[in-house]
Amino acid sequence: MADLPQDAADPAGGAPAPAPPADDAGAALLGPVEQVHLRLRELALPLEVPGAAQARAVREAAARQVDDYLLPRLRSAAAPLLVVVGGSTGAGKSTLVNSLLGATVTDPGVLRPTTRAPVLVHHPLDGAWFSGDRVLPGLARVTGSASTAPAAEPRENRPTDRPTDRPPAPAVRLVPSEALPRGMALLDAPDVDSVEAANRALAAQLLAAADLWLFVTTAARYADAVPWELLHDAAARHAVVALVVDRVDPGAEAAVADLRRMLDEHGLAGAPSFALPEGLDADGLLPEAAVGELAAWLSDLGGDVGARQEVARATRDGAVAELVRRALALADAADAQVDASARLRESVTRAYGEAGRQVAAATSDGALLRGEVLARWQELVGTGDLLRAVERGVGRLRDAVTGFLRGRPAPVPPVEQAIAHGLAAVVLDAADGAAERTHAAWRGDPAGEALLPDLGLSRSSASLRATVDAEVRAWQGDVLDLVREQGERRRGAARALSFGLNALGVSLMVVVFASTGGLTGVEVGIAGGTALVAQRLLEAVFGDDAVRRLTVAARERLDTRVSQLLAAEAERFTAQLDALGASSGDALRAAALALQEAARRHVPGPPAPGADDDAALTRGARAAPAPGSGRVELRGAAAWRAVAASPGRGGVGDGAPTGHPDGAAAAPSRPGFWRRLLGRGGAG
C-alpha cells in the first residue's frame, strides 16, 4: 500500500484526518537508514571471537527494529502512534488495557505465561494502517475480539511453503474499538520475563517497535532485573517511556518513591509514572477513579496531532541515534572478525611454511642418503671398481661407466622404490606435524576452537599418503625426463648409455638429496662418497655445467610438488574461513557515519531549558474537551478531570496521581518536555 500524503483522506475511507506537521527530517533520514539496514543484513559475524554472540544479538535487534519501527515510521509519518503496554508476568497489563477501554478486548491470563499473543487495539477508522505490513511487517494478522478471535493463525495468512511441522509464525490480533482515540493504538505485549523464550523475544521486539512504552510493573516486583534491562535499553536510545505501578496498597509509598529513584539512576528521570491501587470492580476491571489520571493523559496525547507527532519524532530520533551507535560498534566487531580470521590464517601459514622448510632441509642435507637408499645404491653401483675409477680421473671413469652400464644393465627399481619410500616418509611427517601445530593453535584461540569439532583436522587428510606416493612417482618421472632431454642434446652419450637412463636418473636424485645445485667442498664431506660417485657419473656423461643445471631443475620441480601438497593440506583449514566469509566493517561504518551526518543536519537538538514556546503551551487549553466536540476520551478520564479541577486538588497539571493511596503528588519530572508535549507537567 503506497504511503498516503499528509493531508489525504483517512486510509480506511473516513473523514480527512488532521494533517500533522511536515516532517522533512524523516524524508532526509530514510535513505541513510535504508543503507545502514542493508549493511546490517549483509554483515557476517561467523567467528566466535570474544563478544561475538552479543554482537550478533545486537545486529539482529538493530535490524529488527529498523524493520519493525524505523522504516515504517520514516515511510509513514502519519501512521497512528503505537503505544506498547509491556511488563512483567502477572503485572496486570491486559487488565489495564481492558480497564482503559471499559471492555474486555484482551484476555487476562491465569496460567503462566499470561499474555500469549499480542493484541493491538485501534480505532476502527485506523484499521487500514495495521491490516497491511506497514506496521510490524514481520507479524501475521488475525482479527476479532478476545472471545471470537481464532486460536491460531488463519490459513490464508500462512506462507504456502511453510512445512506443516513448523510452529506458526507470531501473529498480532487486531481489535477495533470506538473507545480509543483516532491516531493512537494500544498493543498488549507478552511478558518480558515469560517462561517461554519465544514470548520474551517477541515482547522485546514489540517494545522496540513502540513510539511510546507504557511499562507496567507492581509494587511488589518493580525492582526485578529483567524489566530494568529493557528500561535501561530504552533510556540508552532515548525512547519515550511512561511507568505504571499496579497494585499499590495503602502504605506502599516507599515503593513508589524507590521506583522514582531507580528511574533517575537509569536515565529515565523524565518518565511520567502512575500509581494504581489494588482492587477490581465486579466486571474484573480497575475502577474508573484508579485509571482516570492515566486515561486523561493518554486522551490528551491521542487528541493532539502535534503532541503525537512530537512523541513519535522523539522516539524516532532516539532510535536513529541508537542505530548509529550500534552500527559503529558492529563495524568494530566485524573488524575484530577479520583480525581473528587473519590470525588463524597466519597460524596455518606459519605451520605449513615450517613443514615446507622441513622437507627442503631433509631433501638437501644428505639425510635421505642413508639406510635403505644407501644399501640399494651400493647394490646398483658397487663400492669397489667404480669408486677406484673415480679416484683415477674422469676419463677412466667414463670408460668404467660405459663398461659398467653396458655390462651390467641391472634393474634399478629397488633404488627408486627406496628413494620413493624415504621421500614420502619425509613429506608425510612434515604434513602431520603441520596439522598438529595448526590444530593446537586453533584450539587455543576461541575463534578457531569453534571450527574444529568433527572435522578431523588434528592429523593430515586420510588420502594424503596415496597423494604423496603419486606425486613422488611423478617427480621421479620428471627427473628421468630431464636426463632424457639432456641425453638427446648429447646424442653420442645417449646412444652409448641407452640402457643406463634409469641409473643416471637415480644418480641425479642422489645428487639432489645431497645439495641444491651440485656438490661443493663442504657438501662432499656431508654427503660422503655416495653422492660423490653419483655426481661423478653424471659429470662423466654430461659435464659439470649440465649437472648443475639438472640438479637445480630437479630440485625446483620437487619443491613445487611438495609446496602444492602442503598447500592442499593447509586449505583444509583455510577453507573453513573462506566459507564463513568474515568481512570488514568499512561499508557499515561508512553508512553509519552518513546517517549520523544526516541526523546532525536535519534533526534539531533539544531546546534549551525554559525554552517552551507559546504555541506549544497553548496545547494545554485543549487538554479538556470542548462541549459538543465529540472527542473520544478513555474510560475514567472525564471523571478524573472533574476531580482534579475541584477546589483543593489543583488543576490538570498538578501531577497528583489519583491512583496513589494518599493522593500525594510526587515532584514533577522533565517538566519542559511534557509541558511542551501536552501543555502540562508529567504525572508524578
DSSP string, 257-285: HHHHHHHHHTT-TT--EEEEES---TTSS
Q: Report the pLDDT value the prediction gives residue 261, as an integer from 0 to 100.
A: 82
Supply angle C-alpha 539, 541, 544, rounded to 5.
Answer: 25
Q: Is the pLDDT of residue 155 over 90?
A: no
As a whole-number percent, the residues of the chain with pLDDT over 70 amount to 71
Q: Is the pLDDT of residue 11 over 80?
A: no
As a whole-number percent, the residues of the chain with pLDDT over 90 amount to 31
Q: Is the pLDDT of residue 673 over 50?
A: no
Average pLDDT rounded to a whole number, residues 642-654? 49
Q: Is the pLDDT of residue 250 over 80?
A: no
Q: Report the pLDDT value the prediction gives residue 221, as an integer from 0 to 100.
A: 73
Q: Report the pLDDT value the prediction gives residue 622, as an integer from 0 to 100.
A: 38
- Reduce the DSSP state of residue 298 to 3 states and report it: helix
Average pLDDT rounded to a whole number, residues 423-449? 94
Q: Report the pLDDT value the prediction gives residue 543, as an integer from 0 to 100.
A: 83
Q: Report the pLDDT value the prediction gives residue 169, as an integer from 0 to 100.
A: 60
At 672, the amino acid letter reads G
Average pLDDT rounded to a whole number, residues 250-271? 76
Mean pLDDT is lowest, of 184-188, 292-296, 422-426, 520-524, for 520-524
Q: What is the 3-state secondary structure (H, E, C) of 363-425?
A: CCCCCCCCHHHHHHHHHHHCCCHHHHHHHHCHHHHHHHHHHHHHHCCCCCHHHHHHHHHHHHH
Q: What are phi and psi of 313, to 5 degrees?
A: -70, -40
Q: What are phi and psi of 615, to 5 degrees?
A: -65, -40
Q: Report the pLDDT value the prediction gives residue 562, as an integer from 0 to 100.
A: 96
Strands 119-122 and 184-188: antiparallel
Q: Report the pLDDT value the prediction gives residue 602, as an integer from 0 to 100.
A: 82
Could you tell me the pLDDT band of residue 529, with boundaries at 50, 70 and 90? low
Q: Is the pLDDT of residue 274 over 50?
A: yes
Q: Report the pLDDT value the prediction gives residue 229, as an integer from 0 to 100.
A: 79
Mean pLDDT is lowest, of 2-16, 53-67, 294-308, 512-526, for 2-16
For 162-192, how does the pLDDT look when each residue is reduced to its tens digit (9 = 90+)?
A: 444 445 567 889 999 998 888 999 999 888 8
Task: Among 101-105, 113-117, 604-608, 650-654, name the most confident range.
Answer: 101-105
Could you tell me the pLDDT band of residue 154, with boundaries at 50, 70 and 90? very low
DSSP 583-632: --SHHHHHHHHHHHHHHHHHSPPPPPTT---HHHHGGGGGSSPPTT----
Q: Report the pLDDT value the prediction gives residue 657, as an integer from 0 to 100.
A: 41
Q: Report the pLDDT value the prediction gives residue 5, as an integer from 0 to 100.
A: 37
Average pLDDT rounded to a whole number, residues 43-66? 93
List the end-to-end C-alpha distance of the chain, in Å, as a whole number.
41
pTM: 0.73
Q: Is the pLDDT of residue 255 over 50?
A: yes
Higher pLDDT, 255 or 338: 338
